[in-house]
A and B are shown apart, each in its own frame.
Chain A
Amino acid sequence: MLFTSIQFVAFFLIVLALNQLLRRWPVLQKLMLLLASYYFYAQWNWHYLFLVWFSTLVDYTIGLRLPYSPNPKRLIILSVIVNLGFLAVFKYANWLIHTLNGVTALTGSDLHITPLDVVLPVGISFYTFQSLSYTIDVYRGVLPPRRNLLEYALAVAFFPQLEAGPIVRAREFLAEFDGPKLVRMADVQRALVLIAFGFAKKMVFADTLALIADPVFDNPAHAGFWDTLIAIYGFAFQIYCDFSGYTDIAIGCALLLGIRFPQNFNYPYIAQSIQDFWRRWHMTLSRWLRDYLYISLGGNRRGELRTLANLMITMLLGGLWHGASWNFVIWGGLHGSCLVIERVVLARWKLWQSTSWFMACVRWFVTFNVVCFAWIFFRAKTFAAAIQMIGNLVHGARGLLHAFSPDQQLGGLLLILLMLTTHLINGHGDTKERLGANSGPGFTVAMTVVLLLLILFTPNHSAPFIYFQF
C-alpha cells in the first residue's frame, strides 16, 4: 500500500478516525495502531510479518534481561547477530554468492553456489536498525528497558515509518508515549503542510524527473552529453523529492496521530561541505550511523588516523546499507573519501574556509557537483553503466554547445533549474515551517497551489518510492 495510493488515503482516514475515538482509552488506541501497522505491512506480504514479530520479541526479551544479566555483552551480541543476520540473509546473501561465483569463475574454479530464493522484505533495513538502537541504548544504560510489549512492538512497527523511515530510535519513539498525546490545531496545520508538500514532491516532481532520468540511466549507451548531464542532475532532485516527500508524508501522518518524528531532511543541496550534506540528508540514518557505528568504532577518540579510518568504514557500510551492490560501496567510498579530504586538507586551507560569499558559493558549487557525481554510482544499474555515464560527459564535452537540442532538453533543464532555485530559496527560509505556523492567508494560498499542482502535473504513471528497495 503506497502512501500515494487511494487505498492508503482511505486506510489512513479510518485509522485517524479510530485514533480520535479511542483517545480516552490509550491501551486500546495503541492496540489499534499496532494492528493497523501490521495490516499495513501485510498488504505488501503477510509472510514477512513473522520477521517483524521475531525481531520485536527477541529485542524486547533481550532488553528486559540486559540490566540483570551477568554478561550483557553476550546478549547485545545476540541482538546484533539476529538483526544483522536477517539483513545478511535477505539483503546481502545473494550479492555475496554472486560475487563469490564471479571470483571462482575468474580463477577457473568449478565452485558454484546456487543463489537463495528470497525476496527482500520491504523496510527490513529500517526496522532492524530501529530495533537494534533499543537494545544498544539499554545496554549503554541510556534507556531503561520497556516492560510494555505493546508500546515496544508499536515502536518497531508503527506504519508511517515502517517501510522507509525515518529511522526513529526507540528512545525517541517510546518517549512519545510517556507524555500526553495531544494533537493541537497548530499540529494539524503543520501536518497538512508536510503531507501536501510530501505528495507534491513525490507525485509531481519526483515522478516527472523520473521520466527524464530513468531512460538515460537505464540505457546510457544511447545518451549524449546533455541527456547524461540533465539525467544526473535530474536524478539528484528526483531522489531528494522522492525520499524527502515520503518522509514528509510519514512525519505528517504521525503528527496527526499524535506522534512526533524527528526531521529527516534539511535542504541537503544547500550544503557547503560533504559533512554538512550528511547533517542535512537522511539525518536519522546519519545520526544512527554516528551513534551506533562510528562511535562504537572509537569515533575520533583514538587519534587522527583511526578517526579517518572510522569515517571511511562508516561511509562504506552506510553505502552498503542502501543496497547489496558494489556501486553502493563505491558511492559510500566516494563520500567517505570526501569527508577524509575535508578533514585532512580543506579544514586547514584558510582560503577554502573563508567566510566571503564568493567562497561560500564555490564551496556550495563543488559540494553540490560532488554529490551529484556520486549519485551516478548510486543510480546506475551496473558499474559499467556508471562508467558509461561518466564517459558520456567526458567525450561529449567537446561538442556540448552543438549537441544541445532545445526541443529535447530545454524542458528538463528548466525544471532542474526551478528545483535548484526553490531549494536554495526554501533552504534559507524554511517555507514549510513558516507555512505550518502561518495564521494569515499564506497557508490557504499555498495549499490551494499544492492541490492544483497535484491535479494538473501528476504524471499518469507513478513510480514506487526509491527507498522501498533499501
Chain B
Amino acid sequence: MRYLKFVAPIALVVIIDLIFQFGAWEPIASPESHAGMSITKKRALADPEFQHIDFVSLGSSRPAYGVDHAAFAKAAAAHNFVYANLTVAGTHWMTIGVLVHWLAVHHPEIRGGVIALSVQDFLASGNGAYEIGIVYPFRELADIGSMARHVPFDWHDAATFGLYSGLFEYHEDVQDLLLHPQHRSDLLDYFRSLTPGRVLMENVDETADMCAAPINTLQDCSALSSRGSKDDPKILRQCEQLEATARNRFDLRPILDGQSSDERLQKTSDQIREQLRQISWPTPPVFVLMPMPSVWASDVVPQGTHAWALSVLQPLVAEGKIRVLDYTDMFGRDGGPECKAFFDLYHNNVTGRQRVMERLLPELEQQLFAAQNTSRPTQIAHAPQLSH
C-alpha cells in the first residue's frame, strides 16, 4: 500500500491507453487522418446494408482513384453480389495483412476480391509508421507481432509507439482537435452524413490532367521547379519526392539474374508471399499492378523493379493462389499520351480510370463473378442499390 500512490498513476494511464486502443477515440477522430479514413470505412461496414459482402477491393490511393468502384459495384450487383471498396490512401502490405485478417473474422462470407498496388510497393514490406494509423481501427492484439515486422518499434521515432499504445497513436489527433475544434466538428458532421453506400461503393472523381506541364522525365521536374511557375504546388512537391527517391536509385537486375543477392529484398519477398498465401477467400484474389507514369520506371525506382515485382508474384500464380493483371505500363509506350490519364504523378484521373476499367471489368466478370455459384441465398438479392 505504501507504494500504491507511485504505481497508481502508471496503472491509470495504462487503463486509459487500453480504452483508446479499444476504440474510445474513434467517434471523434479526424476523418482526414490516416486512422480516420479507416474509421469511416469501418463505420460504413457496420451498417446492416453491408452485413453481407461478397467482394472487396483492397489497396492504396492508386486504386482508390484508378478503379471505378461504382462500376465494380454495379457489375457485382448485376450478379446479386455485394461489393465494398476498402481501398485507403497509404495502404501497403501491413494494411493488406491486417484488413484480410479483420475481414476473415468479421466477414467470413467474402468470396474474393481485388488487391491493387503498384510495382514499387514490392521494394519494402513497410511503408512508414503512418500505416500504423491506417490499420489501427481494424487491428487486434494478435496483429501487433505482424505489424512490428512491417514497421519495427523504434525508441527514437514516437510514431512507432502507436504499435503498443493507443494514446501515442492518437496524440496528434487530440492536439489537432484542440487547435481546430470547429473544423473537426464540421468534418465529422460531413462524414457522418455520408451513406455507407457512398463510402464503400462510389468514386472520388478527379478530372484534371497533367498535359499543361507533362512530366515524362526527371528533367521535366527540374525544369518545372526552375521555372518557379505557378504550377500546381502538389506536382512540384511530388517532383521533389521523386528526385529524392531517385538519388538512392540502385539496380535490381543483378539480383534478378542471380548474380548477387539482397537479404532485405529477399525478406520482403518472403513476407509478401506469406501474406498473400494466407488469404483464404474461395476465389483467388485478382492482383492488379496499377498504372504508373513512365517517369517512375525510367528515372526513379530501381532498374528492374517491374520484373522484381512479377518475380515475387510468379510463384503465387503458379500455385493458383492469385491471378495477376499487370497494368503498370498501360499508358506508356503506345497507350499515351499518359498525361491525359493522370492528375498527378501517382493517381489516375477519370479518363485513366475509364481506360483501366475497359480492361479490368471483363477480367472481373470472368475471374470473379462468373466463377461463382450464382444460386445465392435470397437475402443477397437485397443488395444495396447505388445512388448516382
Within 8 A of A (CB), among B164-183: 165, 167-168, 170-172, 174-175, 178-179
* 0/1 interface trace, chain B 13-32, chain A, CB 8 Å (1 if under): 10010000000000000000
A-side interface mostly: helix
Chain B residue numbers with a CB within 8 Å of A192 are 6
CA distance A401 to B58 in the complex (A): 51
Chain A interface category by residue count = 10 to 19
Q: Which residues of A lie under 8 Å from residue B167 when comparing CB positions?
A: 452, 455-456
Name A385-403 residues within 8 Å CB distance of B: none
Query: What's the nearest-Cβ distance from chain B to residue A439, in Å?
Result: 8
Using A6-B155, A185-B2, A411-B179 as known contacts, say yes or no to A458 and B171 having CB atoms under 8 A apart. Answer: yes
Tell which of A192, A447, A457 has the most Cβ of chain B within 10 Å: A447
With beta carbons under 8 angstroms apart, the residue of B6, B9, B12, B175 that contacts A457 is: B175
Q: Which of A185, A448, A458 contacts B9 (CB 8 A)?
A: A448
- Shortest Cβ distance from residue A239 to the other chain B in the assembled complex, whole angstroms: 22
Question: Hey, which chain A residues are within 8 Å of B172, CB to CB?
Answer: 460
**B234-258 interface mask toward A, CB cutoff 8 Å, 1 = contact, 0 = none?**
0000000000000000000000000
In whole Å, how far is A469's beta carbon from the nearest beta carbon of chain B?
23
User: Is there contact, CB below 8 Å, between B175 and A455?
Assistant: no
Q: Tell whether B212 is near chain A: CB-to-CB under 8 Å.
A: no
Query: Which chain A residues border B2 with CB–CB below 8 Å?
Result: 185
CB distance from A432 to the nearest CB of B (A): 16
Find out whether the CB atom of A456 lies under 8 angstroms from the CB atom of B12.
Answer: no
B9 & A447 in contact (Cβ 8 Å cutoff): yes
> Which residues in chain B, 108-163, are within 8 Å of chain A measured between CB atoms?
155-156, 158-159
CB distance from A189 to the nearest CB of B (A): 8
B25–chain A nearest beta-carbon distance, Å: 10
Chain A nearest CB: distance from B181 CB in Å? 10
Closest to A407 in B: B180
A444 vs B158: C-alpha distance when bound (angstroms): 25
A441-470 interface bits toward B, Cβ cutoff 8 Å, 1 = contact, 0 = none:
001100110011001111110000000000
Whole-angstrom CA separation of A158 from B266 in the bound complex: 51
Give the distance to chain B from A330, nearest Cβ to Cβ, in Å: 35
| Choice from B13, B171, B175 contacting A451 with Cβ under 8 Å | B13
CA distance A452 to B166 in the complex (A): 12
CA gap between A459 and B171 in the complex, in Å: 9
Instruction: Assess whether B10 is interfacial by the CB under 8 Å rule.
Output: yes
Nearest 3 CB-CB pairs, A to B? A447-B9, A448-B9, A444-B8
Give B residues with C-beta under 8 Å from A: 2, 5-6, 8-10, 12-13, 16, 155-156, 158-159, 165, 167-168, 170-172, 174-175, 178-179
Residues in chain A within 8 A of chain B (CB atoms) = 6, 185, 188-189, 192, 411, 443-444, 447-448, 451-452, 455-460
A-B contact pairs, 14 of them (CB 8 A): A6-B155, A189-B6, A192-B6, A444-B12, A448-B9, A448-B12, A448-B13, A455-B165, A455-B167, A455-B168, A455-B171, A456-B167, A458-B158, A458-B171
